[in-house]
């Protein structure tokens, strides 16, 4: 079995500790950077909404648009990364809901 490493990721100024394979770290950090950038964009565009709305909007947009900010096609999301994002969404819902 692959060795998992613990990493801290930040989503909307909240830190979450997850375990991932070392070779996924760069991708996870890139995805989280893009998600946080989208959250900031949505906060600017839709003032007055709840933070959970911004997070959900960013994650939905990221999950449904397989193109990075640079306009390059992304590789298909790995099942493990998809599982981690779903788990992260559950954590966010528990904390913000």
* Structure confidence by residue, pLDDT tens digits, 50-76: 888 888 888 888 777 764 444 443 445
In this predicted structure, what is the pLDDT of residue 68?
47
| Helix extents (H) in 1-97 | 25-45, 51-64, 79-96
In this predicted structure, what is the pLDDT of residue 72?
42
Task: List the structure tokens of 19.
Answer: 């375990």
Task: List the structure tokens of 64.
Answer: 């449904």
In this predicted structure, what is the pLDDT of residue 97?
60
In this predicted structure, what is the pLDDT of residue 81?
76
Domain ranges of the chain: 5-96
Q: What are phi and psi of 13, to 5 degrees?
A: 65, 15
In this predicted structure, what is the pLDDT of residue 21?
93
Separation of first and last alpha carbons in the chain: 35
Write down the pTM of the prediction: 0.63
pLDDT at 86 over 90: no
């Amino acid at each position: 079995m692959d060795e998992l490493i613990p990493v801290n990721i930040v989503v909307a100024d909240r830190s979450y500790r997850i375990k991932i394979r070392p070779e996924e770290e760069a991708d996870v950090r890139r995805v989280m950077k893009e998600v946080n950038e989208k959250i900031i964009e949505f906060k600017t565009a839709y003032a007055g909404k709840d933070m959970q709305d911004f997070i959900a909007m960013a994650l939905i947009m990221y999950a449904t648009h397989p193109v990075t900010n640079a306009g390059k096609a992304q590789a298909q999301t790995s099942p493990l990364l998809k599982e981690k994002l779903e788990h992260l969404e559950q954590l966010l819902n528990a904390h913000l809901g």
